[in-house]
Structure 1
Amino acid sequence: MNQQAEEILKFYERQGKPAGQEEILGALQELQQVLGCIPKEVQEETAKRLGVKPSFLSAFIKKYPGFKEVSAVHEIHVCTGPSCGSKDALKILRALEQESAQKERKEGISVKIVKGRCTRRCAKGPNIKVNGELCHHMTPEQAADLIRRL
């Protein structure tokens, strides 16, 4: 969590526990302004600091259309055809899934992973497309690093 978000939570934490709806609303508005969204990890910390249940905070966020849990959505296509499939495409897929789950939880950045579409660049495989940009000769480590850099 960044320093501004930490300062926001410290301020509202001092207001008393459990926080009332006005304090919750104020804290969430400020957090979203600073972070661009309110990821699950931030929701959990906010609930703890304000003395409310995480499920209550999550419902509060869903009630107000201005709040969002995800700030950006990226799409990655993983070729799992015969050629790429024989070159660790499934390991790449698993690495992408694992790293994208952490990315969404910590930063609120969603990554949609689609498998099975052949890129017709079999000789350069394994191949993936990140937001339409083709990447060749991928390894599970390189794929995970791509997610971290999104």
Structure 2
Amino acid sequence: MLDQSYYQKADEIIAFYGKKPSSLIPVMQDIQGVYRYLPGELLTYIAKEIGVKEAKAYSVATFYENFSFEQKGKYVIKVCDGTACHVRKSAAILDAFMKELGLSDKKHTTDDMLFTVETVSCLGACGLAPTCTVNDEVHPNMTPEKVVGLITELRGEC
């Protein structure tokens, strides 16, 4: 069960966009912007509040790749695997993040909820390949060695 503050925040966001079906995507985007994921229980609440069927809300949330029902860490690391990054060995960078953080194909978020590692098709920074982002901040010309330094730096910010 979600804390009452989640519903209060949802109410604020819904009030901003209005209680109408066309508010669904912007409301979901803002909720995910706040919590870094869409809590399923909250999506059900949003659907009811703006007057759309729960199935419609879930179909929209699952259709768009940028929506996630999984809770994410404080730092969301996206490793690019687009063509330019791939040919410049982005797989080795992904492997380094996974190894350094103790993650696997089945587990993308650390137990302490600090890090989530994802692979994306393209970050649009091909000239800086291989790249990754941490909470949308681009880190160019990554190497497996730079991964260790980046993780150490991020842990120091906590």
Structure 2 length-normalised TM: 0.44
Larger radius of gyration: 1
Select the structure with the greater relative contact order (CA < 8 A; seq sep ≥ 6): 1
